[in-house]
Amino acid sequence: MIRGLLLAGGAATRFGGAKLLARASDNPAPIGARAARSLVAGVGNALAVVRPGDEALARALREAGCEVLESPDSLRGLGASLAAGVKASREAAGWVVALADMPRILPATHRAVTAALGRGAKLAAAVDASGRRGHPVGFSADLYADLAALDGDEGARSVVELNRAWLEVVRVDDPGIFFDVDTPGDLAG
């Protein structure tokens, strides 16, 4: 089974806190829940990694269809959160990794990356028509050790670069693969 993995453990310092519970002007649902619903709809499941004690966010993500892992590792950054999620779902055949502050990715995009992994891709990433890479990114279980070793805030960029020869590009018509929310101004439609 391919596992959706939603990284939702950031501190949101640039936003000023509680970013994933904020609502954009174009949609009344919290942005974290929107990202979760899209991932669940596209992959069929999702495990969200959140900070310990972030109960309001955990509840919103559960309501959106996610299982939730409260991990103290998320306090160390994106890479540590990713490693925690991968270790907690060791049985998976692969992971489609999405960021909870990217609420506009279409379910079809998650589905396309999942399908690439299902066809045997070791590494798959959504790209636009010009070839520019965005999110989500899919990793096969062959990359478990590399993902489980991540720490700090870099995320999986080093794993992607190390395994670039295996990268399967998944062309999508989805501007949401580039849109993330960093500041309150990003919520304005």
Q: What is the pLDDT of residue 189?
A: 57
Query: pLDDT, tens digit, for every residue of 8-19?
Result: 998 887 888 889
Please check the confidence at residue 30 and state whether its pLDDT lies above 70.
yes
Q: Where are the beta strands (DSSP E) in the chain?
A: 2-7, 47-50, 67-70, 94-99, 123-127, 133-140, 167-171
DSSP secondary-structure letter at 59?
A: H
Q: What is the pLDDT of residue 7?
A: 97
Rounded Cα gap, residues 170 and 113, in angstroms = 6
Averaged pLDDT of the chain = 95
Query: pLDDT, tens digit, for every residue of 51-103?
Result: 999 999 999 999 999 999 999 999 999 999 999 999 999 999 999 999 999 99
Query: pLDDT, tens digit, for every residue of 121-159?
Result: 999 999 999 999 999 999 999 999 999 999 998 889 999
Q: What is the pLDDT of residue 14?
A: 82
2-177: CATH topology: Spore Coat Polysaccharide Biosynthesis Protein SpsA; Chain A (3.90.550)
The pTM of the full predicted model, rounded to 2 decimals, is 0.95
Main-chain dihedrals φ then ψ at residue 91, nearest 5 degrees? -75, -10
Q: What is the pLDDT of residue 24?
A: 83
